[in-house]
Structure 1
Amino acid sequence: MMKMNNIKQIHEFGQSIWLDFLDRKLIRSGELKKLIEEDGLRGMTSNPAIFEKAISGSADYDEQIWEVAEKHQNNEAIFYELAVTDIREAADLFGPVFAASQDGYVSLEVSPHLARDSSRTIRQATELWRKVDRKNVMIKIPATAEGLSAIRRAICEGINVNITLLFGLDRYEAVTDAYLSGLEDRLADGHPIDQIASVASFFLSRIDVLVDQMLETKGHLELKGEVAIACAKQAYQIYKQVFGSERFKKLQEKGARPQRVLWASTGTKDPSFADTKYVDALIGPETVNTVPPETLEAYRDHGHPESRLEQDADLAAQTLARLKKIGINIDEVTAQLENEGIEKFNKPYDQLLQAIEEKKARSPLKSYAL
């Protein structure tokens, strides 16, 4: 008997696997369609770093850059024309998944330079949502303090939101409150809430990268590689409390869906860890894991699907308590990671705009420069 595909098997435990990667070649070559059919891939996420690699690293976008530049648009406007084209095409490929389930979403991020600006974030999120014009798209808004009001407003406006750059448990609770408040606002305005979807993307491997350095300095190697998964397991307990609450049940009666937790940054960065570490450990119902292509391939080859997210929940709490005892403040860690995360997206975003500028200069059309 043929062994079932490891990635498809994860779905039997209630978790959806999304791909943390996007480029035009993948979409147009038939490869994405194949992943959807053969691996049961159920969604896709993008970010500025992913688009920077796609646009800078190939000639696939050059012709559209030259055409769009004819409209005298700035480089950011050109970028979003390219991105919207890709996002629409990917969303259409996921159309059958979306029609058959509560999955099939493709995510597009607002400019990382807006991470500390609520009003401009909501303005751009609304603009991108209208431009993409697909029900199975999510607009990514960062989980900064300033992002919270933008998340609430976007949900109220009926925009699907993928909350990104989420590291801390307290901030996660604030994100769930922004989601529920947005749904309540929308109901109060007399609009339906049964078509709105949202995920809260918890970034994991970066937590271990930073905390493990601190553990080494303090000589507590027994906790190495344990903290991100402990945080994720604690986040899932918060998820269950919030979406099992009376407050949510009232919204659920009107058709509201839970805001699923999404595990992001799940490619292993420490070569001493298993390459499937952040997938195997966090399989559980009503969750999403967005994985880079190399992790998807590794999991297909040698993953071990089993529902583990609620195993050792007490141990997860103990791990975080021990961290505090040895003098590592997880709130300070997550605040640092948020700041670094914004910067890690700002840099490739600026490089991306520069690459567009350079490609414009090689345009055979050139009339836009006159």
Structure 2
Amino acid sequence: MAETKHPTDAVPDDRNPLHELHALGQSVWLDYIRRGILDNGELEEMIRRYDLRGVTSNPSIFEQAIGDSTDYDDAVGELAASQAGASAAYESLAVEDIRRACDLFRGVYDSAEGHDGFVSLEVSPELAHDTQGTLNEARRLREAVDRPNLMIKVPGTEAGIPAIEQLLADGFNVNITLLFSVKNYEQVMEAYLRGLERRQQAGQPLDRVASVASFFVSRVDSAVDAQLEKIALAAADDGAAALARAMSGKAAVANAKLAYERFAQVFSGARWERLASAGARVQRPLWASTSTKSPAYRDVIYVEELIGPHTVNTMPLNTVEAFADHGVARRTVDQDVETAHQDLRTLADLGIDM
């Protein structure tokens, strides 16, 4: 993988740190959408103010947007009058929002030559274990949205992996979601390489196929910290309890840094270079679930600790605003990697196998 030159110093205080993330090789995507910010111009303004380069969505985001606002009342009324079922109504609302967001990010997409400016729309979670159903829905959603900067979101499940490979071979932009372990991430990277190799063998272009692998962060700490507290309470002595509690808040960043280390290894060497020479682009790691769940941790920790080349961080709006206010932009994702390895070894010694 060719190394992009990026500055590593912290940014000056008079600069918006969100704008500096791009100089460090990281794209900021917004993990939020609702019709109101499309209607009132707020999303368009945020693209400029925060240097946003994409949007991610999921059914939960849409459920909250539809249920907790009046943005959709008129559209829902029209759909009810047409006797559309709940699933069809949801899809109609989501497709319209995603299409409009794609249009707002089209300028980013064009200026980045198809490297950024994507808006993600997820296949139904009910299809997580249905390969053919995932393929069918992905094809239908792409046709419905009909925008080149749409990215179809597919979970990296056992059934999702072959669907991901096929979609990539067919030239889809794919966001692989719900990745928590390096082992699962390796399967996703392999599916990406196989999909591109199949596409190349079929004589199809590779230069406009984009993919990100969404590696979840804060949820890992939430799960591991709960286990560490149980271990501390059951510890035979104060020293063992203190060690368990000292490891709180370390699992997620360490896990992500090891994923990035593996990414750098996979996207180098002869196999990758053959694809890159044909125009292929790396499948970027996307750090997801980056809002801080624990008040004990810095509110931008999952941004600040994972900054570096060829990465994406999708942030909820409150995290975007917090980082713009007091975030420190410095290359960190490939720093202190041996410490990350040691942290995971310590967790394993405590009985937590990542």
Do the two structures share a fold, i.e. TM-score over 0.5? yes
Partner of residue 61 from structure 1, selected from 63, 72, 76: 72
* AA in 2 matched with 1:183: L
> Aligned residues, how many?
330
Give ranges in structure 1 of 5+ residues lacking alignment.
331-370
Please identify, of 224-233 and 24-33, the stretch whose mean Cα deviation from structure 2 is larger: 24-33
Confirm whether residue 50 of structure 1 aligns to residue 61 of structure 2: yes
Q: Give the match for residue 314 of structure 2.
A: 290
Partner of residue 161 from structure 1, selected from 168, 174, 182: 174
* AA in 2 matched with 1:275: D
Whole-angstrom distance in 2 between the partners of 1:73 and 1:303:
45
Query: For 1:42, what is the secondary structure of its paired residue?
Result: strand
**Residue pairs, 1:221-260, within 5 angstroms:** 221-260=245-284
Whole-angstrom distance in 1 between the partners of 2:343 and 2:325:
31
Relative to its length, the structure with more helix (as a share) is 1
* AA in 1 matched with 2:68: G
**Residue pairs, 1:104-115, within 5 angstroms:** 104-115=117-128
Please identify, of 309-318 and 186-195, the stretch whose mean Cα deviation from structure 2 is larger: 186-195
Query: For 2:151, what is the secondary structure of its paired residue?
Result: strand
* AA in 2 matched with 1:314: E
Whole-angstrom distance in 1 between the partners of 2:20 and 2:275:
31
Confirm whether residue 31 of structure 1 aligns to residue 55 of structure 2: no
Query: For 1:221, what is the secondary structure of its paired residue?
Result: helix
Whole-angstrom distance in 2 between the partners of 1:157 and 1:310:
33
Check 1:279–1:190 CA distance in 2 against 1; reply closer, same or farther (3 A cut): same
Whole-angstrom distance in 2 between the partners of 1:269 and 1:110:
26
Q: What's the TM-score, normalizing by structure 1?
A: 0.87
Query: For 1:201, what is the secondary structure of its paired residue?
Result: strand
Q: Give the match for residue 97 of structure 2.
A: 86
Deviation at 1:193, TM superposition (A): 1.5
Whole-angstrom distance in 1 between the partners of 2:315 and 2:27:
11
Q: What's the TM-score, normalizing by structure 2?
A: 0.91
Q: Give the match for residue 179 of structure 1.
A: 192
Whole-angstrom distance in 2 between the partners of 1:185 and 1:64:
42
Deviation at 1:185, TM superposition (A): 1.4
Deviation at 1:139, TM superposition (A): 0.5
Confirm whether residue 20 of structure 1 aligns to residue 31 of structure 2: yes
Q: Give the match for residue 346 of structure 1.
A: none
Q: 1:83-120: per-residue Cα shift (whole Å, max 9, x none)?
A: 11000111111111111111111100000111111110
Whole-angstrom distance in 2 between the partners of 1:126 and 1:188:
22
Q: 1:289-324: per-residue Cα shift (whole Å, max 9, x none)?
A: 000011111111111111111110111111111111
Q: Give the match for residue 135 of structure 2.
A: 122
Deviation at 1:2, TM superposition (A): 8.2
Whole-angstrom distance in 2 between the partners of 1:127 and 1:263:
27
Partner of residue 300 from structure 1, selected from 320, 324, 340: 324
Partner of residue 320 from structure 1, selected from 344, 348, 352: 344
Give ranges in structure 2 of 5+ residues lacking alignment.
1-11, 233-243
Q: Give the match for residue 237 of structure 2.
A: none
Identity among equivalent positions (%) equals 48
* AA in 1 matched with 2:184: R
**Over aligned residue pairs, what C-alpha RMSD do you find?**
1.3
Whole-angstrom distance in 2 between the partners of 1:151 and 1:66:
36
Whole-angstrom distance in 1 between the partners of 2:339 and 2:205:
41
Q: Give the match for residue 98 of structure 1.
A: 109
Query: For 2:52, what is the secondary structure of its paired residue?
Result: coil
* AA in 2 matched with 1:38: R
Q: Give the match for residue 219 of structure 2.
A: 206
Query: For 1:163, what is the secondary structure of its paired residue?
Result: strand
Query: For 1:108, what is the secondary structure of its paired residue?
Result: strand
